Amino acid sequence: MQNSVSIRDLSLNFGSVKVLQHLDLDIAQGEFIVLLGPSGCGKSTLLNCIAGLLDVSDGQIFIGGKNVTWLEPKDRGIGMVFQSYALYPQMTVERNLSFGLRVAGMKKDEVERRVARAAEILQIEPLLDRKPANLSGGQRQRVAIGRALVRDVDVFLFDEPLSNLDAKLRSDLRVEIKRLHHRLKNTMIYVTHDQIEALTLADRIAVMKNGVIQQLSDPHTIYNKPVNLYVAGFIGSPQMNMFEGTLEGTTFTTADGTVVSVDTYDFAAPSNGPIQAVLGVRPEHIALGEAAAAMPFSIDAEIEIVEPMGSDTLAWTKIGNKAVTFRCDSDVVIETGQMVRIGFDPARGSIFSAETTNRL
Amino acid sequence: MSQISTMASVSPAPTGAAVEPRGPRPKPFFTPRKIIIYSILVMFSLYYLFPLYVMFTTSLKTMPEIRFGNIFSLPTAPSFDAWVKAWTSACTGLTCEGLAPGFWNSVKITIPSTIISIFIAAVNGYALINWRFKGSEIFFAILIFGSFIPYQVFLYPLVMITREMGIFGSLQAVIIVHTVFGMPILTLLFRNYFASLPQELFKAARVDGAGFWRIFFEIMLPMSLPIFVVALILQVTGIWNDFLFGVVFAGTQNYPMTVQLNNIVNSAQGTPEYNVNMAATVLTGLVPLAVYFVSGKWFVRGVAAGAVKG
């Protein structure tokens, strides 16, 4: 199948600052790709390059098989939604939606038809005569999505579209964007720093750092099999527990002497001699009580702090000298100072080389 | 215990000291802060209003009353004769047609200069922020540097340039000169204002396919009313009050009001008619005065909007 968007060896420098470095990315037709990373990692820059709002320093961009590297934004077949909505304040919603079509010189009845369709899809028909100032944040963002929708483009670009909304609206609109994607089946490229948005929306996530894609994979793989320490630490809240230590064969010894047998772990390449390594275990993969005793590794530990989150409970404890968080059912009664048995299966964990930070 | 507390609450201030604090805190009217602020404000307003008062009352007096010497007194029999004379028949050099021709000359100079300079500066500011080109920062720096060079340095070269263009001593010449000299400050104003507008609006318009002029006229201009008002005030008052460029470039038949006012006030013949002079001066100052009165609120708002971001 032909790729919808292809990025070949893309580089972008602002003066001596390298924002994007030799970046390659292929996005399939109808795929929902999320570019995820902290601020300053180049994800928005990459999106602006795809949109044609920034000139690239090197490399090529293909959209729908056509080389668009030198094309104007309007000729690339893209629609874009911005974080600040970027609605034209002096125009009504209807004029906002139709602006691009009017610029293109489209016939009036066709403009009306498309605006009506977008308004129907996004349920903003009652708002068409209002000015953006009289809309709530969620309504504004809907209009902004509508503006991309009327253009009838192949590729949608979202630049942190939900970051200016409050938590409740954010989760509502998140579901709506997903529904929209199911209905329209367009290619969507979505930039965010919110890992929940990334994990819930994406077909594939590209985790970025310093202008380089660290890992490009489906959410499940990104979460459970991060390729390096950076991805492991960035995804997941609370963070993955990281034990530093030495790995010799299938025996992992933490810095303070706790020995963990990791023979259930699926090594990509078996290592021989003792090497410095980091063992990562997600908080929800740590079991408690009887379940812990059944795990390949288990140990007694004292509870330090308990954080009930409603849906589940986070507990802080220590293995050796290392602070550890684990997640348990909210019905489990645990108290500060209580001694509990905790354990985990290294097969569900991740082991990284301390030297290269890559997954072993 | 209760005795002590009663005493403590009564002793410092007998009136209202026993009131339990509740609701908004009472704000006394005469605080040292307010007294200082208001006395300074009153002092400065008197400083500026007194001359206006003297000019206005003098213009309503007759010459004998003025010669009496009591310049702060109110006119005994107010009359607008001096105003009529200043407008229609005071002598400006060789002709004695009053200020009226000068007023219309000033209008003919101010309106086109204001419109042209503001339009060009708005496009400049917009291009400098949104369509950055190679060297746009240097271009801007040079433009700003231009505003630090004294006018006198440009005067002779400009005379030569306009003479070579064949427009020296005409309305076109003054209009061009005013437009050129308005450029640095106006461009700075518009550039800073456009910089304060969200960049994403511009990006959205580009994705929508709008070009340079379309974005300028349909997106940027409708959002720029405050800064246009500021530019308008700056230019109208600046150009209206200009003397130097008017006297050098306009030619005798196009002398603006300021030049003709000078000719009335400084005429060497006869006794100086102070009432006519005062009336002529107030008449000349009416336009800028009106502009400030009408748009004062907008002016402050626009200056704040344009000046904050560098």
Contact status, residue B195 vs residue B129, Cβ threshold 8 Å: yes
Count CB pairs under 8 A between chains A and B. Answer: 60
Encode pLDDT of B102-160 as tens digits. 999 999 999 999 999 999 999 999 999 999 888 888 988 988 888 788 888 889 999 99
How far does A85 lie from chain B, in Å, by closest CA?
8
Question: Which one of A71, A83, A85, A103 makes the best mutation probe of the B interface by having the most chain B beta carbons within 10 Å?
Answer: A103
Nearest CA in chain B to A100: B208
Mean pLDDT of chain B: 86
- All residues of chain B having their beta carbon less than 8 Å from the beta carbon of residue A159 are 200
What per-residue confidence (pLDDT) applies to B7?
A: 46
Beta strand spans in A123-184 (E): 155-159
Instruction: Test A82 with B200 for CB contact under 8 angstroms.
Output: yes
Other CB atoms within 10 Å distance of the CB of residue A218? 12
pTM of the predicted structure, to 2 decimals: 0.81
* CA distances from residue A104 to A98, A101, A110 in whole angstroms, order as listed: 10, 5, 12
Instruction: Test B201 with A79 for CB contact under 8 angstroms.
Output: no
Give percent of chain A with pLDDT exceeding 90: 63
- All residues of chain B having their beta carbon less than 8 Å from the beta carbon of residue A99 are 205, 208, 210, 218
Model confidence band, residue A146 (pLDDT cutoffs 50, 70, 90):
very high
A147 touching B (Cβ < 8 Å):
yes
- All residues of chain A having their beta carbon less than 8 Å from the beta carbon of residue B219 are 88
Contact status, residue A351 vs residue A269, Cβ threshold 8 Å: no
Q: What is the ipTM of this complex?
A: 0.85
What per-residue confidence (pLDDT) applies to B133?
A: 85
In this structure, what is the dihedral angle of CA atoms B256, B261, B266, B268, given to the nearest 10 degrees? 80
Please choose, from the candidates B283, B285, B250, the residue with its C-alpha nearest in 3D space to the C-alpha of residue B100: B283
Question: β-pairing, A187-192 with A204-209?
Answer: unpaired
Max CA distance (Å), chain B: 98
Per the model's pLDDT, the better-predicted residue between B167 and A268 turns out to be B167
Please give the Cα distance from A177 to A188 (Å, whole number).
10
Encode pLDDT of A30-51 as tens digits. 999 999 999 888 899 999 999 9
Encode pLDDT of B1-38 as tens digits. 444 444 444 444 455 556 788 888 888 888 888 899 99
What per-residue confidence (pLDDT) applies to B302?
A: 65
Helices B171-196 + B225-241 axis angle, to 10: 150
Does B298 have pLDDT greater than 80? no
A161 touching B (Cβ < 8 Å):
no
User: What structural domains does chain B harbor?
Assistant: 33-79 (no CATH), 101-256+284-306 (1.10.3720.10)
Instruction: Test A79 with B207 for CB contact under 8 angstroms.
Output: yes
Instruction: Test A88 with B210 for CB contact under 8 angstroms.
Output: no
Please give the Cα distance from A232 to A241 (Å, whole number).
10
A89 touching B (Cβ < 8 Å):
yes
Please choose, from the candidates A75, A108, A85, A158, the residue with its C-alpha nearest in 3D space to the C-alpha of residue B206: A75
What per-residue confidence (pLDDT) applies to B11?
A: 46
Encode pLDDT of A157-171 as tens digits. 999 999 888 888 898
Please give the Cα distance from A5 to B298 (Å, whole number).
49
Shortest CB distance from B203 goes to which of A53, A88, A90?
A53
**Measured distance between the N- and C-terminal CA atoms of chain B, rounded to whole angstroms:** 63
What per-residue confidence (pLDDT) applies to A356?
A: 87
Other CB atoms within 10 Å distance of the CB of residue B108? 16
